[in-house]
Each structure stands twice: as structure tokens, then as C-alpha cells.
Structure 1
């Protein structure tokens, strides 16, 4: 077991190729657990004889749990050894996934989904750990590589869960996910170095400092708000896609629905490119470009709601825009205060997953009342709102 400690110069330790692979894989496996249920919602609705609104609470509670976990748990990375936190959350996530696999009722599955969201925040301990280990000149690139792993985990999870659920049953998917996280914990135990805390604040003061950071940095407020707004559209699409494709006129099974994750994965590959662009030219242009791409993709899908090819192309484009914007926002906030990266990351991702949770809930409501075209309009409006936030003059907001 490694006993290396990250001390006053975190960039000195650097990142080996093997450690980078572990961090990217770990972020992807953890984040994937948030989305395994989405392609299975049609199957789960039939299993538990639930309405679309009720079954939509499964992904909603997972996203809500993630937002709460980031707010209440992610700041601990500045106060305690991040390695220990990752290991504890990995054990909790394994148990939560096993609880979902054995859920006898929809209510139990909902509780397990909330627990999965809370403990899957270990992904958000891995990202600032990467920023601490990376050299400052390459931080955007290194974070972008780990975010590629995280985002591929999110998007490919739909492909995997759709196939596994159709071939082996939905419970098997949660069991397989639990095994993957248990194996990740073993690798972390042996490979990840220890981290020296950057603050000695009490837990209460640590949480209170989130508001201090939010008040102090207008760049953080803009990043959290803009990413949260874009996440409304992102989540509205992915949380309702399975229900829409399961019904007429497509009548698709979970494997075919999950395959849409491949389209989104193509967009996620832009994360390292966005990180390099942010390092060279500054991240502001990347955030605006991402919002424009998301808006254009959903406007096009709203104009052709029954065109399957347009859904595929749109998924590539809006995922590219969302992920590029996220990497650029991380480049912005990590430069604000090197001693508070876990807390800065927590504020950004609370905004993001509050938007995710809201998008999952609003998407199911809009789908039931206005159909798939209404979901696309909702998502396009979220992109317009995010673009307005990024274009709002900085001088009018204060420093």
C-alpha cells in the first residue's frame, strides 16, 4: 500500500499514466451508478406497476441524493484525507447498489436510489484529487482526461444497463455495479496516495465556508448557475428518453434505448479538447460555445420529434456542449483558491445536480402533458438561459 503524502506542493507528486487511468476509471464507475436505472425505467414501471410520474422519481431521487451528497460530504475533502473518504464512500455505494438489487417494492428502490446518489459523490472527491496531483500548467488537460472517464461512465452506463437488463434482468445490473465499485475500492487502497488536509475548519465551519466562497467569487456563482441551467435540459432528455422510446411509435427495448448512450459518449470525448482550449485561450469562450451547441441541438430535435436519426445527432451535439462547458467551468473555479478546491467543486456540482434533479422531474411532467416535443423545448430554453448567464457582463456582477 502506498504511503505517499501530498503535502505543501501537490503538483510535485505528479500523475503517472497508471494513476491517471485509475482516477479516470474510478470517476466513470462511480458516476455511472447514477444512470443505470434510466434505460430500465420502462421495465421498472412494468415490474412495479407504476405510473410514468412515479417511476420518474427513481432517477429524480438519485440526482437529488447526489446534490445533497456533494453539499454535505464533498467539502470534507479539504478537511480529511481524500483517499480515506473515497474508500468509505466506495463501501457505502457498494451496499446501496446491493440494496437496490434486492428491492422488493418501489419504495425500497427509491430509498436505495437516494443512497446511491449520496455515496456516488466519491466521483467528486476524485476530480479535486486530480487537480491537486496535476502540475498547474497541465491542470486543465489532466482534469479534462479524468472528466472524460467520468462522462464516458455516465453515458456508456446507459448502453450497459440497457443490454444487461434485457438479457439478465434489471436486478443483475445493480449486482454487477456493486461488484465494479468493490473492485475499484481494492485498487484505490493499493494505488492512491494519501492527502494532507488543506484546512482544519470544523464541519460546521466547512459547510458555512461554501456560502462564503459563493459570496466572494462571482465567477463561481456564474459557473454554478450556468451549469445548473444546462443540466436541466441534459437531464430532461436522458431521464425521459427511455419512456418515450419504449412507447409508440418506436416500441424499443432497453438494449436499443441504452445504445443511445454511445451517441452521448461521442460528445463526451470532447472533454480533453475543451480542457486544452481552456488552458490556451481561456475558458470563457468554451462555456458560451457549449451553451450554443446545446440550444441548437434541442431546437433541431423539437422541429423533428419523430426523426430517430435527429435524436442520435442531437445527443452527440448537446452532450458535447454540456461536457465542454463543464470542463471549462472547472478550469475557472479551480484557479480561484487552491486551498478550497473540494469546496469550490462542491458548489459547482450542487448547482449542476440541482439542475439534474429538477430536469428529471420537470422532464417527466412535460412529457406527460406536452409530449416529447415539449421536452425538447424545455431543454432548449435551459440552454438559452445558460448562454445569457455566460454573456452577462462581468463588470455588472462585481468581482
Structure 2
């Protein structure tokens, strides 16, 4: 299956794509600043409340593996629009939930369909062309990251003002509006695609395994990004529990505000993309991997003498480091085989969010027994493992691989 050039993605379309992917990704993080409140509202334990984070990560990973590969054989425009609409519907169910079990299930369903963002990201890379590919991905992915961060802030503000259900309903409405905007502006003509059949779908899933075997760079970058995200998401639940606890006693609005610090990392995405397009991706990868354990060492002081300044510095550095690893890794994997970009993205992002799932699950289990210190050590350990892995295996990215066909 060959890929043809469709059009050039202009700044306006890229920004709208970034908004849509950001809103889609926001559905994964609505509960972060209100975990403490939801725990009390539904009578959950700390561990069960932490599962709201875990099911979001796990659901997203499942959607990446099962849904995103379809973008290589079906038109991406209707697929992305359908997924955005389904995410909005799941958010409405979550907002109307009367029990913790319904909230958990609806959150998982919203996460599964939120992979519409990952149908849009490689589409943006294709529309932009090779010379602007990393920049286009950086712009759209900055929307993904900003969506997660802003959702935490707005979730806290809306919860304090109107109750915990409001963020879910507001996000659902915004998603529908973004889907309507994309329906008017996204190119209506995709490259020729054969369509989806049961046999072809099975072939898609099987070919992902073949892609993993064929490309060592895909294996390395997927694991690097997974460890980097695992380290990053540790701060999600841990920061909420720390700031809501007796040392700080912050409200959901205040907790959501601190999450805006990660916007520094998200806004660095387009700049990182420009640097990658100039051939400096390897340096940025190494810098990002070094930055993350340093950030955790700074945040270790947040529950002691360092207090809030240590937390602020650590969160900013952690966000920039994670963004550098993600953007440079995407530049590497999207260049491997353009006609299989959907499946390659599914492998990469699926592994990426499996790492996030394990990181959030470990945090939920570790917090009751080890608190902030234990979570900081966990985050630093995961980041350090990624750095060591890259230093040992980075040369595999220069190894030529065979041209085996991956057509569905």
C-alpha cells in the first residue's frame, strides 16, 4: 500500500488539529485534581481512587493497539471524527455517574476512544511533508500535552464553582465543537485506502508484530518513551495527594493551577520540532533523558525544606524533559515507513501509554506505604532506567533494516 501526498497543512489547520487532540487527551486527566474529592464522594480508598488514573492510561493503550492501526486502511478523517464524538458521549456518561463503578467504566471508555488524537497526529505529519514533519508533529502534540494540563486546571476551577460533574459535561461539549470544526476544515480526500475487512484487520494487527521485529529503532524508542512517560505520570496522583494533604491543604482549583507548570514543557514542542528538523534529535533525546531524574531529585525536597519552590522547578524540568524524549522519538519512528505510519504510531504510542499505566498503578500502590519520598524515588528510578537504556542501545538507530513489505 503506497501513500500519496494529500495537501500541505497550514498553520490554521495545525492549530485546529492541536485543539482537537488536546481536548481528546484532556479526557484522560479530568479526574487528576479532584481525586481526593471523588474518593470521598464515592467512598473510595486511596488505591481505588488512583485507579481512575490507571484505567485512563490502560484504556488509551488498548485503543492505540486496537483502533489506531485502522487508519492505515480506512479514511482518517471520518475515523478521527467518529472517535472524537464517541469520547464526548463517554464523558457525558461519566459526568452523570451515580456510582464509582460507573465512573470507572465510563472513564475507561472515554480513554479508549480518545485515541482519535493519535489518528490526527500522524495525519498532520503526512500533510506537512518531510521538511516540516517534526514541527507539525510538535505543534499537534503540544496540543495533546496542553490539553492534559489545562484539563487539570479547568477541572479544579469548574469543580469548585459548579461541582465535580461540570468538567465532564463542559469537555464533552467542547469536543463536539472541535469535531464540527475539523469536519469543515480537514481535507476530505485521503490517500487511496482499501477499506477494512476482518481479514485485513487481522493482517494489520499481525503486521505490527512484524514491524516491531524489523525496526530496532521502533523497539528502542517505544521503550524509552514508555519509561519516560511512566516517570512523568508518577507526579500526577502523587502531586494531588501531596498538595491536598495536611502539609499544603490546597483546594482542587489550586491543585489544578500547579499543573499548568507543565505547559512550559508542552509549549516547547514546536521549538523542539524545529531543532529536530535541523538534525539535532539525538542531542535533544539525551538532554531530555538527563533532565528527568534531575527534576525528581529537586522534587524530593518538596515535602521538606524545599517546599513549593522545589516542586515548581522539578515539574517544569520534568515536563520539558519528557516532551523532548517524546518529540524526538516520534521524529525517528515516523520516518521508518510512511505507508505504515498508523501501525507504527499504534505500536509506539501503545507502548508509551502502557508505560504510563504501569507508572500510575505503581504510584497508587506506593503512595499509602511510602508517600511522597517513595514516589519521587520511583519517578527518578524510571527516568534513570530510560537514560541507561539509551546510552547502551542508541547505536541500533544507525543499523540498516530490510525492506520487508508491511502492506495490509
Q: Structure 1 length normalisation: TM-score?
A: 0.95
Q: Deviations over 1:106-150 (max 9, x none)?
A: 000000011011010001011011011012111111111111111
Q: Where in structure 1 do 4 or more consecutive aligned residues deviate above 6 Å? A: none
| Alignment partner of 1:78 out of 47, 72, 78 | 72
Tell me how far apart the structure 2 counterparts of residues 148 and 199 of structure 1 sit (CA, whole Å).
Answer: 32
Give per-residue Cα distances to partners, 1:16-40, cap 9 Å, x unaligned.
2221121111111111111011001
Give the aligned partner of residue 188 of structure 1: 182
Please state how far the C-alpha of 1:196 moved relative to its aligned partner: 2.4
Q: Cα distance 1:17–1:304, how it changes in 2: closer, same or farther (>3 A)?
A: closer
Segments of structure 1 that go 5 or more residues without pairing to the other structure are 1-6
Q: Does 1:300 align with 2:298?
A: yes
Partner of 1:246: 244
Q: Please list, as runs of the form range in 1=range in 2, the aligned pairs for 1:354-373 lying within 5 A after superposition.
A: 354-373=354-373
- Give the one of 16, 20, 33 matched to 2:27: 33
Q: Which residue of 2 aligns with 1:222?
A: 220
Give the deviation of 1:379 after TM superposition. 0.3
Whether contact under 8 Å (2:287, 2:321) holds in the other structure is: yes
Question: For 1:1-399, what aligned pairs fall within 5 Å after superposition?
Answer: 8-10=3-5, 13-194=7-188, 195-197=190-192, 202-306=200-304, 307-395=307-395, 399=401
Deviation of residue 308 (structure 1)?
1.1
* Rounded Cα–Cα distance in structure 2 between residues aligned with 1:298 and 1:269: 21
Deviation at 1:9, TM superposition (A): 3.2
- Cα distance in 2 for partners of 1:303, 1:48 equals 33
1:322–1:394 CA distance, 2 compared to 1 (3 A): closer
Counterpart-to-counterpart distance in 1, 2:257 and 2:394: 41
Structure 1 residue 394, shift from structure 2 partner:
4.4
Deviations 1:343-388 (A, max 9, x none): 1111111111101111111011111111101101100011111111
Deviation of residue 197 (structure 1)?
Answer: 4.7
- How far residue 262 of structure 1 moved from its aligned partner, in angstroms, is 1.4
The offset of 1:303, in angstroms, is: 3.8
**CA separation in 1, counterparts of 2:362 and 2:100?**
20
* 1:77–1:197 contact (8 Å) kept in structure 2: no
Quote how far apart the aligned CAs of 1:91 are: 1.7
Q: Which residue of 1 aligns with 2:406?
A: none
Unmatched 5+ residue regions in structure 2? 402-408
Shift of 1:102: 0.6
Give how far 1:304 is off.
4.2
Q: Distance in 1 between matches of 2:301 and 2:360?
A: 22
CA distance in 2, matches of 1:36, 1:273: 27
Q: Displacement of 1:393 after TM fit?
A: 3.7
- Deviation by residue 1:297-328 (Cα, 9 ceiling, x = unmatched): 00121244331111111111000000111010
Deviations 1:250-280 (A, max 9, x none): 1110000000121111121111121111111
| TM-score with structure 2 setting the length | 0.93
- In the comparison of the two structures, how many residue pairs are matched? 392
Q: Residues 51 and 364 of structure 2 are in contact (CA less than 8 Å); yes or no, is this contact kept in structure 1?
A: no
Asked if the contact 1:302–1:374 (Cα under 8 Å) also holds between the matched residues in 2, the reply is no
1:8 positional shift: 4.8
RMSD, aligned α-carbons? 1.6
What's the secondary structure of 1:56's corresponding residue? helix
Is 2:71–2:342's contact at 8 Å kept on the other side of the alignment?
yes
